[in-house]
Amino acid sequence: MTLRETVRDDLSAYYPAVWLCERGVWALLVFRVASAIRTRYGQHLNRLPRGLRLPVTACGLVALRLAEVLTGIELPPDAVIGPRLRIWHGGNIVINPGVVIGADCVLRQGVTIGNVQIDGPVPRIGNRVNIGAYAQILGDVTVGDGANIGAMAVVLRDVPAGATAVGVPARIIERDSGSVSGTSS
């Protein structure tokens, strides 16, 4: 998929009327460009004269940092983010390098998805995952497709597909009975 197609796909998750005023759109667009410079066009950078490689790469990183300062949304270029990520009420969102986020996910303000220790493993988020405000997903965790993470939950263990995780530490709420499972997740 080309950068243009990826951006068009991302914009489809937002109402056109908010493209210019929604911080999540700004951060995601800058992320896509910086990520494309790093991954898709990285091999082409080697063909540039040495004096141009650093400025081109630096422009992408400076744009990311500027977007981070203006939006409060930290999306590193080496995170893998699927299409149509929707960031509601952007701000104080931290995604660590290496995190994988699937398609059609929703993040709300204050979300952190990262490692527990420096250079430690990071989470993998499936498709259509809905993450509530100020939720923290940390460490070697897999969140299955269609899962819901409640506001302010601290997820330290895997969350099965379609499950809902709430609390500190997060536990799974069973969908059929509405009761809380005895196992932590």
pLDDT tens, residue by residue, 101-152: 999 999 999 999 999 988 899 999 999 999 999 999 999 999 999 999 999 9
Query: What confidence category does residue 41 fall into, taking pLDDT thresholds of 50, 70 and 90?
Result: low
Render 96-128 in DSSP notation, one character per residue. -TT-EE-TT-EE-TT-EEE-SSTT----EE-TT
Element (H, E) at 130: strand 130-131
CB atoms within 10 A of CB 91: 15
- Say if residues 109 and 89 touch (Cβ distance below 8 Å): yes
- Residue 175 is predicted with a pLDDT of 58
Give residue 153's domain range: 3-184
Residue 180 reports pLDDT greater than 80: no
From CA 166, how far away is CA 91, in angstroms rounded? 21
User: What is the three-class DSSP state of 69?
Assistant: helix
From CA 184, how far away is CA 4, in angstroms rounded? 42
CATH at residue 98: 2.160.10.10
Query: What confidence category does residue 66 fall into, taking pLDDT thresholds of 50, 70 and 90?
Result: confident
Q: State the total domains in the chain.
A: 1
